[in-house]
Structures are given as C-alpha cells and as structure tokens.
Structure 1
C-alpha cells in the first residue's frame, strides 16, 4: 500500500534539488519542472517498489533524464521527417482577413474562442458544438454571441480587409484549403 505521507515528505525533500539538477541539464526551467513533475508522478505510481530502493531520488532523477532523452528523440525524429519530406509543394496562401480573425480569436476568452472555432470554422452545428464542449446548447449560443461581440472590437481595430466592417455585415473567413465561413459582425 502506498503511504501518501511518506511520499509527500520524499517529494518535499527532493523536488527543488531535482528540478535544479534538471534545469542544469536542460537549460530550461519550464522543461526541468515538467520533467521533474512527470518523474515524481511515475514515482508515486510505483511508490511501493521505489520506496524500497536504497536511493529513490536517483530513480526519480534517472526517470527524468530518460524522459528528456525521449523528448529529444521525438524532436530529432520530427526534424528528420521534415528534412526527408520537405515543405509541401503547395502551401495555401493565408488571407489578411484570416490572419486578423485568428488575432482577434486569441484575444477573447478560451470558451468563447472554442465555440466560435468549432461552430464557424469547423462547421459544427450548435448542438454538435454543445456535445463536444459538454455544455447546453444555450451556453454555446451565449458564448458565440459574446465571442462575436468581443471579436468585433478587435476586428474593427485592425480593419478586416483594410476597412472597418459595417454593423450587420458578414466578415468572410477564408480558411486555407477549405470552404469559406462567415462571421456576422455587430457594433
């Protein structure tokens, strides 16, 4: 049986040192924290066995190092694949309107952004969006409405298509490689 108090004491006594060691190895505090936390999570999953080792800290450190190597290998494999296959011959152009829409989406709350992307860009119905986001359809409608209102101020600032959209007009979103979608603009 895993003893949470013993593990908590072990964690508290070693997490800073191990994070510091991983930071020294990786040069990135965020990566060091991620690797250390994942290694401790694995230690907790195997605590019955790990707690019996002569040096549980060494086990956690070695797991963190193996995780780092795994991350490095995945990155190297992605780079190799990219070099092997290169850039696709046809990269669709991205319209300035699309760039403006994406910039506006980044400035609104996540749940509103998610609803707008799923409904307007992916093309899901309100009901399908509600199912995917696990909220009632009314909540999706409210998020869509609030999201469009929030986006309108940012789209007005940048002037989608070079001009400020008139109230009640539709802004056409041209997604690379897909059919266009329209977002209704309100003032």
Structure 2
C-alpha cells in the first residue's frame, strides 16, 4: 500500500473504526486512542497491506487488542492497589467561569505566544523544555512568554473573575 493509498484508507475508515471500538469499549476517548495507535502501528506495515486483504480488519483487531491490554493493565493496577470491586467512572466537573475566561482569552493570542504560555504555565515545562519542543531559541521563548502574559493580562482585565480576587486556575 502506497502512502497515498494509506492516507485514503485512513480518511475512509477512521470514523467507522472509532465507532466500532466505541461500541466495544464504551468509552469514546479510549476508542479514538486505540484506533489511532493501531493506525500508527499499521503505518510501519503499510507496504505489506493489500487493499483487497482487509486492512481494516487488521486495524480493528489491533485496536481491540490494545483496548483489552489497557483494560488488563488497569484492572491489574486496581487489584494491586486493593480495589477488588469495579468503580463507576468518575464524573468530570464542568469548567469554571475562570477557566472559560482563560481559554477564551488564550484563543485571542497569536499561536506562538499561546503555545509558549500553555507549555510553560499549564504543562509546567521549563523555558529550556519549551524551547526544545517548539524549536525556538530560549530568548524567543522568553519574549513570547513576556508578550503573551502582557496581552493575556490586558484581555483578562476587562473580564473580572467572580472568585479569589482575579486568580485564575486551570
């Protein structure tokens, strides 16, 4: 299978496979993750795939096995931690008003500044790590952070949070 055929195969089957794995796993995020991982593994094998030999079945089987392996590791981890009964999935709290304000303000920033701010402040990467991940010099990262903070402060100054005197938490 050529790279172009693989791209067409991916575009035609990703959503369908994700829907199938969702039905298997019951978790949309998990289904997307395992299907994507299966496609990554298939990329290295694409030369051995013949479009007539059901490469979609290979992807589905691989994704299903990945989901099963993840489930086993999770179950083993819970067993080792002393959790012998099945827990209901935890609920996720809705985003706070402060979080929504921050995300909205970040969207208004230039992409380079937004990436630098998120990597440094939300992902807790050092300036050197941000520099390596973005392929930008350290002084460029420092400049993007300084400009981004200034622009973010200006955008947030007219949107006063309702709690904790302006402190934003993500």
Q: Is 2:127 the counterpart of 1:141?
A: no
**Secondary structure of the structure 2 residue equivalent to 1:158:** coil
CA RMSD of aligned residues (A): 4.0
After superposition, what is the alpha-carbon deviation per residue over 1:60-79, rounded to whole angstroms, capped at 9, x for unaligned?
11101111112213332443
In structure 1, the residue matched to 2:109 is none
Identify unmatched segments of 5+ residues in structure 2. 84-95, 107-113
In structure 1, the residue matched to 2:46 is 47
In structure 1, the residue matched to 2:32 is 33
Partners of 2:29 and 2:144 lie apart in 1 by 35
In structure 2, the residue matched to 1:91 is none
Q: Is 2:162 the counterpart of 1:158?
A: yes
The structure with higher relative contact order (CA 8 Å, sep 6+) is 2
- Following superposition of structure 1 onto structure 2, how do residues 1-187 of structure 1 map, counting pairs within 5 Å? 2-51=1-50, 54-80=53-79, 82-83=81-82, 108-109=105-106, 110-111=114-115, 113-114=117-118, 117=121, 129=127, 131-134=128-131, 135=136, 136=140, 137-152=142-157, 156-160=160-164, 164=165
Structure (1/2) with the larger helix percentage? 2
When structure 1 is superposed on structure 2, of 28-37 and 49-58 the one drifting more is 49-58
**TM-score, normalised via structure 1 length:** 0.53
Q: Which has the larger radius of gyration?
A: 1
**TM-score, normalised via structure 2 length:** 0.57
In structure 2, the residue matched to 1:90 is none
Partners of 1:116 and 1:9 lie apart in 2 by 37
